[in-house]
Amino acid sequence: MVSLSLKLNLHPISLTLSPPIFAIQLQSHPSSKSNGGTPLSFIPPAKARLLHVIRTHCRNNSNISANSVAVQQEDSEEEEKFEVLTSTQSEYNKIVMLESKKCKVLLLDDSGNVHSILYKNQIWSNSYWDEFCSLPAMISKGPVGIFGLGGGTVAHQLLHFWPSLVLHGWEVDHILIDRARMYFGMSELEISRKDGGILRVCVGDALSPSATVAGGYAGIIVDLFSNAEVLPELEVATTWLEMRKKLMYNGRIMVNCGGAVQTATGWQMNPTIQALCEAFGGEFVNWKKMPDDQGGNYMAFTGPLPDMNSWSDSVPDKLRYAVNQWRPCHPVS
Q: How confident is the model at residue 53 (pLDDT cuts 50, 70, 90)?
A: very low
61 HSE (CA, 13 A, CB side)? 21
Residues contacting residue 71 through CB under 8 Å, at least 6 positions apart: 8, 10, 51, 54, 55, 58, 77, 78, 79, 80
pLDDT band per the 50, 70, 90 thresholds, residue 11:
very low
What does DSSP say about strands 14-18 and 69-73: parallel, antiparallel, or unpaired?
Answer: unpaired
pLDDT band at 332; cut points 50, 70, 90: low
CATH of segment(s) 128-328: 3.40.50.150
Question: According to the model, what pLDDT value does residue 28 have?
Answer: 29
pLDDT of residue 269: 82
Rounded to an integer, the average pLDDT of 47-56 is 47
CB 132 within 8 A of CB 254: yes
Q: Running DSSP on this structure, what letter comes out for residue 278?
A: H
pLDDT over 90, % of the chain: 64
- In tens, the pLDDT along 63-86 reads 322 222 333 333 344 567 899 999
Q: What is the DSSP letter of 40?
A: B
Band of pLDDT at residue 333, cut at 50, 70 and 90: low
> What's the CA gap between 225 and 39, in Å, rounded?
5
Which residues are paired to 118 by β-bridges?
104
Q: What is the pLDDT of residues 18-27, one digit of tens each?
A: 444 443 222 3
Phi, psi of 241 (to 5 degrees): -65, -40
pLDDT in tens, 189-234: 999 999 999 999 999 999 999 999 999 999 999 999 877 789 999 9
- What CA–CA distance (Å, rounded) separates 53 from 127? 7
Specify the pLDDT at position 189.
Answer: 98
Residue 254 reports pLDDT greater than 50: yes
Q: Are 125 and 222 in contact (CB under 8 A)?
A: no
**Cα(109)–Cα(46) distance, integer angstroms:** 14
* Domain definitions of the chain by residue range: 2-119, 128-328
| Residue 302 bridge partners (DSSP) | 285
Burial of 94 (0-12, 13-18, 19+ CB in 10 A): buried
**In this predicted structure, what is the pLDDT of residue 185?**
96
Given this model, what pLDDT does residue 235 score? 95
What is the Cα–Cα distance from 13 to 267, expressed in whole angstroms? 23
The secondary structure of 55-113 as a DSSP string is HHHHHH-TT--BSSEEEEETTEEEEE-EEEEEEEE-SS-EEEEEE-SSEEEEE-STT-B
Q: Does pLDDT of 169 surpass 60?
A: yes
Burial 313-323 (b: 16+ CB within 10 A, else e): ebbbeebeebb
Q: Residue 105 pLDDT > 70, yes or no?
A: yes
Cβ neighbour number for residue 2 with a 10 Å cutoff:
11
For the chain, list the strands marked E by DSSP.
2-9, 14-18, 69-73, 76-80, 82-89, 94-99, 103-107, 114-119, 144-147, 166-171, 198-203, 217-222, 225-226, 229-230, 247-256, 285-289, 298-302, 327-328
At residue 309, the 3 state secondary structure works out as helix
The span from the CA of 206 to the CA of 32, in Å, is 13
Question: Is the pLDDT assigned to residue 30 strictly greater than 70?
Answer: no
10 Å CB burial of residue 199 (0-12, 13-18, 19+) is buried
| pLDDT band at 301; cut points 50, 70, 90 | very high
**pLDDT confidence of residue 27:** 30
**Partners of 100 in beta bridges:** none
pTM: 0.80
Predicted confidence at residue 102, as pLDDT, reads: 94
| pLDDT score for 299 | 96
Distance of alpha carbon 267 from alpha carbon 118, whole angstroms: 29
pLDDT tens, position by position, 257-283: 987 555 556 788 899 999 999 999 989
Q: How confident is the model at residue 261, as a pLDDT?
A: 56
Spatial CB neighbours of 6, under 8 Å, sequence gap ≥ 6: 15, 16, 17, 50, 68, 69, 70, 82
Residue 177 has pLDDT above 70, yes or no: yes
Mean pLDDT of the chain: 80
Length of the chain: 333
Backbone torsion region of residue 209, taken as left when φ is above 0, otherwise alpha when ψ lies between -120 and 50, otherwise beta? alpha
